[in-house]
Structure 1
Amino acid sequence: MDPKKNDIIAPSELTPRPGDDIELASIPATIPVTKTIDPFLVEFDATYDAENPKHWPTGHKWAVTDVLSATGFIRIMVSTIMAPALSTIAHEFNMSSTESAMALSIYLLATAFGPVFIGPLSEIYGRKRVLHASNIWFLIWNIACGFANSKELLIASRFLAGFGASSIYALAGGVLGDVWMPEQRGHSLGIYLLIPLLAVAVGPIIGGFMAFRTTWRWMFWSTSIFQAVMIVVSFTVFRETYAPLILSRRAEKLRRETGNSQYYTADERLDGEKTVLARLGQALSRPLRLLAFHPIIQVTSILSAFYYGILYIVLSSFSELWIQEYNYTAEISGLHYIACALGELVGSQIGAQLMDFFYRRKLARSSESGVVPESRIPLVFFGALFSALGLFVYGWTAQYHVHWIAVDIAIFIQMLGSQIAGMPMMAYVIDVYPNHTSSAMAATQFLKSLTAFLFPLFAPSMYRAIGYGWGNTTMAFIGLFLGVPAPMIIWKFGTRLRAKATSSY
Structure 2
Amino acid sequence: LLSRLAFANVIPLSLFLLSYVAGPWCWSPLSEAYGLRPFFVLGSLGLTAFLGASAAAPNYGALLVLRFFSGFFGAVPMTNSGALTGDIWHAKERGTAMSFYSVATFAGPALGPIIGSFAAYRLSWHWAFIIPCLFSAVLCIAVLFFLPEIYPPVLISRLARQLRKETGDERIRSALELAEMKSRGTPRVQRFRAEAWRLLGTPIVMISTEPIVAAVAAFASCCYALIYLLFEGYPVIFSEVHHLGPGYSSLPFLSILVGAIISVPVTLWYQKLYLRDVKREGRHTPEQRLPPALAGGPMIVVSFLWLGWGGIVPTLSGVLQGVGSVLIFRSMQTYLIDAYERNAASALASNVVARSIAGALFPLFAPALFHRLGVQWGCTLLAGCMFLLVPVPFLFERY
TM-score, with length taken from structure 2: 0.93
- The one-letter code matched in structure 2 to 1:361 is R
Are positions 1:338 and 2:254 aligned together? yes
Q: Deviations over 1:425-482 (max 9, x none)?
A: 1100010111121111101111100110001111221112211111111221221221
Deviation at residue 191 of structure 1 after TM alignment: 2.1
Q: Is 1:476 the counterpart of 2:383 in the alignment?
A: yes
2:239 aligns with: 323
- Match 1:441 to one of 348, 363, 379: 348
Question: Is the aligned partner of 1:394 residue 2:310?
Answer: no
Counterpart code for 1:478: C
Give the distance between the partners of 2:232 and 2:94, measured in 1 at CA: 31
Alpha-carbon distance in 1 for matches of 2:300, 2:386: 8
Query: Is 1:170 equivalent to 2:79 in the alignment?
Result: yes
The one-letter code of the counterpart of 1:347 is S
Q: Tell me what 1:100 maps to.
A: 9
Percent sequence identity over aligned pairs: 26
Structure 2 CA distance for partners of 1:425 and 1:191, relative to 1, 3 Å: same
Describe the superposition over 1:31-54 as per-residue Cα deviations: whole angstroms up to 9, x where unpaired. Answer: xxxxxxxxxxxxxxxxxxxxxxxx
**Of residues 211, 218, 229 in structure 2, which corresponds to 1:302?**
218
Match in the other structure for 1:314: 230
CA contact (8 A) 2:103 2:326 kept: no
- Of residues 273, 278, 293, the one that matches 1:363 is 278
Cα distance per residue 1:310-361 (max 9 Å; x no partner): 111112321332222222111322322111111122224423431x123212
Letter in 1 for 2:396: I
Q: Match for residue 350 of structure 1?
A: 266
Within 5 A, what are the aligned runs for 1:76-475? Answer: 96-270=5-179, 273-275=182-184, 277=192, 278-354=194-270, 356-367=271-282, 370-397=283-310, 402=311, 406-475=313-382
Question: What is the alpha-carbon distance in structure 1 between the residues aligned to residue 131 and residue 291 of structure 2?
Answer: 42
Where 1:443 maps in the other structure, the secondary structure is helix
Contact 1:383 1:418 (C-alpha < 8 Å) held by counterparts? yes
Q: CA deviation at 1:271?
A: 5.1
Deviations 1:165-221 (A, max 9, x none): 011111101100000011112210122234443323321221222122111101112
Q: Counterpart of 1:237 in structure 2: which amino acid?
A: F
Give distance in 2, aligned partners of 1:337 and 1:477.
Answer: 22
Residue 160 of structure 1: CA displacement?
A: 0.9
Mapped to 1, the partners of 2:68 and 2:264 lie a distance apart of 29
In the comparison of the two structures, how many residue pairs are matched?
A: 392
Q: Is the 8 A contact 1:271 1:279 kept in 2?
A: no
Shift of 1:115: 0.9
Quick one: which of 479, 483, 492 aligns to 2:398? 492
Number of the residue aligned with 1:84? none
Q: Answer yes or no: is the 8 Å Cα contact 2:237–2:375 preserved in 1.
A: no
SS in 2 for 1:449: helix
In 1: Cα distance, 2:141 partner to 2:322 partner: 33
Task: Supply the distance in 1 between the matched residues of 2:38 and 2:143 (Cα, whole angstroms).
Answer: 11
Aligned equivalents of 1:317, 1:113: Cα separation in 2: 26
Change (3 A) 1:453 1:352: farther
Q: Deviations over 1:200-249 (max 9, x none)?
A: 33212212221221111011122212222222221110010100000001
Amino acid in the other structure paired with 1:279: E
Q: Structure 2: which amino acid aligns with 1:395? A: G
Contact 1:112–1:445 (CA<8 Å) still a contact in 2?
yes
Residue 200 of structure 1 contacts residue 340 of structure 1 at CA under 8 Å; is this kept in 2?
no
- Contact kept in structure 1, 2:96 and 2:267, CA below 8 Å: no
What SS does the corresponding residue of 1:241 show, helix, strand or coil? coil
Task: For 1:287 and 1:117, locate their aligned partners in 2 and report how far apart those are by CA, in whole Å.
Answer: 10
Whether the 8 Å CA contact 2:232–2:367 is kept in 1: the answer is no
**Residue identity opposite 2:288 in structure 1:** S
CA distance in 2, matches of 1:194, 1:308: 13
Whole-Å Cα distance in 1 between the matches of residues 124 and 159 of structure 2?
A: 52
8 A contact 1:348–1:423 mirrored in 2 = no
Structure 1 distance, partners of 2:24, 2:199, is: 12
User: Could you tell me whether the CA contact under 8 Å between 2:297 and 2:324 is conserved in 1?
Assistant: yes
Distance, in Å, in 2 between the alignment partners of 1:196 and 1:447 is 16
The separation in 2 between residues aligned to 1:101 and 1:384, in whole angstroms, is 27
User: Which stretch shows the higher mean deviation, 161-170 or 187-196?
Assistant: 187-196
- Contact kept, 8 Å, 1:146 with 1:220, in 2: the verdict is yes
Kindly tell me: are residues 374 and 196 of structure 1, through their superposed partners in 2, closer, same or farther at Cα, counting changes over 3 Å?
closer
Greater helix share, structure number: 2
> Could you tell me how far apart the structure 2 residues matched to 1:232 and 1:446 are?
27
Q: Which stretch of structure 1 is more off in the superposition, 472-481 or 129-138?
A: 472-481
Q: Normalization by structure 1: what TM-score?
A: 0.74
Displacement of 1:280 after TM fit?
3.8
CA contact (8 A) 2:213 2:347 kept: yes
Q: d(CA) in 2 for partners of 1:220 and 1:455? A: 23
In structure 2, distance between residues paired with 1:117 and 1:470: 40
In 2: Cα distance, 1:239 partner to 1:284 partner: 24
CA distance in 1, matches of 2:195, 2:242: 56
CA contact (8 A) 2:224 2:355 kept: yes
Distance in 1, matches of 2:4 and 2:74, equals 25
By how many angstroms is 1:421 displaced? 2.1
Cα distance in structure 2, aligned partners of 1:228 and 1:371: 39
2-side partners of 1:159 and 1:366: how far apart? Answer: 48
Residue 379 of structure 1, CA deviation: 2.4
Higher RCO (CA < 8 A, seq sep 6+): 2
Specify every segment of 5 or more residues in structure 1 that has no aligned partner in the other structure, as ranges: 1-89, 494-505
After TM superposition, give the deviation of residue 264 of structure 1 in Å. Answer: 1.8
